[in-house]
């Protein structure tokens, strides 16, 4: 019996304004973009995974040192998590921003409890800070992170912040987030580099060019939310592996349709693969 699977999102494709945001600011914010059903099912699927269920159960009675739950790659995906990989909206968004020539890189799942510390400003382009000829050649390739926040976050409560426009600055040692925020790179960027602190309702997503500096604020002990769920899918322009380009499980390949197979047909990262 064929199951009909509609998009998990309220939108079918990005607007021209969204695409402009991507190029000008380096990111697009989609508040409450999941359908109610998809949001609820995704949360259910994630929180009912056995290790997650145990983690949450421990949180409810634990008063020890706060620890995040983190898995990378996140392969234990139910039907909703799985569908995210090539949902029609995601495919339309990737094609409209970076074209057709991209692959699935990897994924992760993170659950952040009350009391967890901040994550400082960073960029996630893994061919930077490595000097192999391969890394140098790949430096300008797109590396796209799609950040999903199934249960959302409030400002100052494990909230994401970004330096808007920071993807326009060449990734040198001098280009630090502090200097960018002090205005020292506005001329190079051709715009004012500004910190944007986000607040997002449940069912939101943020689409970023991983060249932008981004950071995450701490989660206060008295946060109204017991834990914040964050899952991420990463896509890269076709080419050699990035640091975490994951092995595709055999069963994923077997059940993939031809379009999805194309996303998976690339090399995974292995020790030493950049220096051969």
Ligand X SMILES: O=C(O)CCC(=O)C(=O)O
> Which CB sits closer to ligand X, 72 or 260?
72
> To the nearest whole angstrom, how small is the minimum distance from the Cβ of residue 124 to Fe ion?
5
> Which structure tokens are listed for 104?
């699935």
N residues, the chain:
276
Site for ligand X in 233-272 (CB under 6 A): none
Judged by the rule CB under 5 A, the positions of this chain that interact with Fe ion are 124
Residue 83, binding choice from ligand X, Fe ion, none, Cβ under 5 to 8 Å by partner class: none
User: Which residue of 86, 87, 124, 217 would you call a contact of ligand X, by CB under 6 A?
Assistant: 124
Is 230 a binder of ligand X (CB under 6 A)? Answer: yes
Is 160 a binder of ligand X (CB under 6 A)? Answer: yes
Is 229 a binder of ligand X (CB under 6 A)? Answer: no
**Percentages helix, strand, coil for the chain, rounded to the nearest 5?**
30, 25, 45
> Which CB sits closer to ligand X, 121 or 274?
121
- Tokens 């921003």 label which residue? 97
> To the nearest whole angstrom, how small is the minimum distance from the Cβ of residue 145 to ligand X?
7
Is 116 a binder of ligand X (CB under 6 A)? Answer: no
Is 103 a binder of ligand X (CB under 6 A)? Answer: no
- Give me the phi and psi of 120, to 5 degrees please: -70, 175
> Which CB sits closer to ligand X, 38 or 147?
147
> Which CB sits closer to Fe ion, 5 or 70?
70
> To the nearest whole angstrom, how small is the minimum distance from the Cβ of residue 160 to Fe ion?
9
Residue 115, SS3 per DSSP: coil
Site for ligand X in 206-225 (CB under 6 A): 214, 216
- Tokens 């699935």 label which residue? 104
Residue 160, binding choice from ligand X, Fe ion, none, Cβ under 5 to 8 Å by partner class: ligand X
Closest by CA position to 147, among listed 87, 103, 84? 84
Sign of torsion over alpha carbons 159, 160, 165, 169: positive
Who's near 204: CB < 8 A, 6+ residues apart?
Answer: 29, 30, 31, 32, 33, 34, 148, 149, 152
Strand order in the sheet with 102-113: 27-30, 204-209, 143-149, 227-237, 102-113, 69-71
DSSP state of 180: H
Closest by CA position to 220, among listed 145, 136, 159, 150? 159
Residue 216, binding choice from Fe ion, ligand X, none, Cβ under 5 to 8 Å by partner class: ligand X
> To the nearest whole angstrom, how small is the minimum distance from the Cβ of residue 233 to Fe ion?
13
> Which CB sits closer to ligand X, 214 or 242?
214
List contacts with ligand X (CB under 6 A).
110, 119, 124, 147, 160, 214, 216, 230
């Amino acid at each position: 019996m064929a199951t009909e699977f509609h998009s998990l999102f309220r939108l079918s494709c990005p607007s021209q304004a969204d695409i402009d945001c991507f190029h000008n600011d380096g990111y697009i914010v989609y508040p409450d973009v999941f359908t109610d059903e998809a949001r609820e099912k995704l949360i259910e699927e994630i929180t009912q995974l056995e290790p997650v269920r145990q983690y949450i159960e421990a949180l409810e009675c634990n008063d020890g040192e706060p620890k995040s739950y983190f898995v990378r790659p996140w392969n234990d995906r139910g039907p909703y998590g799985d569908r995210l990989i090539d949902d029609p909206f995601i495919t339309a968004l990737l094609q409209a921003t970076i074209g057709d020539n991209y692959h699935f890189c990897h994924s992760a799942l993170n659950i952040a409890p009350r009391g967890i510390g901040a994550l400082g400003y960073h960029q996630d382009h893994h061919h930077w800070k490595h000097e192999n000829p391969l890394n140098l050649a790949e430096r300008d390739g797109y590396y796209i992170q799609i950040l999903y926040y199934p249960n959302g976050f409030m400002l100052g409560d494990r909230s994401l912040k970004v330096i808007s426009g920071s993807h326009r600055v060449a990734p040198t040692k001098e280009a630090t987030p502090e200097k960018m925020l002090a205005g020292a790179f506005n001329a190079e960027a051709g715009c004012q580099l500004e910190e944007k602190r986000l607040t997002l309702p449940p069912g939101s997503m943020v689409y970023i060019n991983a060249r932008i500096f981004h950071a995450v604020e701490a989660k206060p002990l008295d946060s109204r939310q017991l834990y914040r769920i964050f899952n991420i899918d990463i896509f890269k322009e076709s080419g050699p592996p990035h640091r975490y380009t994951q092995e595709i499980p055999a069963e994923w390949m077997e059940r993939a349709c031809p379009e999805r197979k194309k996303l998976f047909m690339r090399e995974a990262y292995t020790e030493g693969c950049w220096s051969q």
